[in-house]
Structures are given as structure tokens and as C-alpha cells.
Amino acid sequence: MKLKTRDVKIRLPQEPPQNMDELLIQIFWKDPELVPIAKEFLNHVKEWGRSESPYRVDEWQGYCSRKGLTQSRYHNMLKRLKSAGMIEKVYNKNLRKHELYLTDKFSECLSKMARIWDEYCRL
């Protein structure tokens, strides 16, 4: 059985990030030019998630053409956001389409790491 793993390297700064841009810089440290693009995309997915028709994965070409993104940059950004646990792809059986949603897996992972560290320090 092959385990599905997420692997994203996040740089930990001396001081915690003060806003979403600074947080995304830690995730997109290899390509900081993707930070505003990723933030705008997250806002886009967030708004779609609040509507009755979430952002469908097959809409990527239209999104890329509207935003002037190459397919490569779009998929690189998407892969990092998914690997970090910020968004997830969910299959909608009724529409037979994949949709993207914001997820709390990123914050859950950080919370678990903080609990482990806190327990270690107390021992």
C-alpha cells in the first residue's frame, strides 16, 4: 500500500508572520513572485466557496487566461497550496466535477506540531 504524503517545505522566520502575505512568503520562499498570485487565488476560491457553486477544477484555463498565468505557474501554485493543506480538491458526485475548497488542514498540522513541542518542553 502506497501512502499518500504531502511535502511542502516552509521556512520558519525569527518572528511569526503578521499577515497573510508574510505567511505565504514562508510557503513560496523559492518563488516569492507567486505570493500575490496565490493570495488572490485563495481569495477567489474563498469567495466561490461562499457561493452555491464552488470553484471547479476544470475552470483553471479560464482563470489562467484572465490573470495572465501560465499553466505551469498555476499548477505549481496549486500544488504548493494543496501540499501545505490550505486548499483541497473534492469530487462533487452530483456534478461529476472536482471542486476546490479552503481547508483547515494547514492550521491543524501547525497546532499538532505546537502541542508536540509544548509537551516536549514540559517534560
What whole-number distance in Å separates Cα of residue 67 and Cα of residue 55? 15
Can you list the domains of the chain with their CATH numbers? 21-122 (1.10.10.10)
- Give the pLDDT confidence of 7-25 residue by residue, as tens digits: 778 888 889 899 999 999 9
What mean pLDDT comes out for the span 64-84?
A: 92
How far is Cα of residue 86 from the mean position of the Cα atoms in its chain? 3
Per-residue model confidence as pLDDT tens digits over 23-70: 999 999 999 999 999 999 999 999 887 877 777 888 888 889 988 999
The DSSP bridge pattern shows strands 97-102 and 87-92 to be antiparallel
The model carries a pTM of 0.84
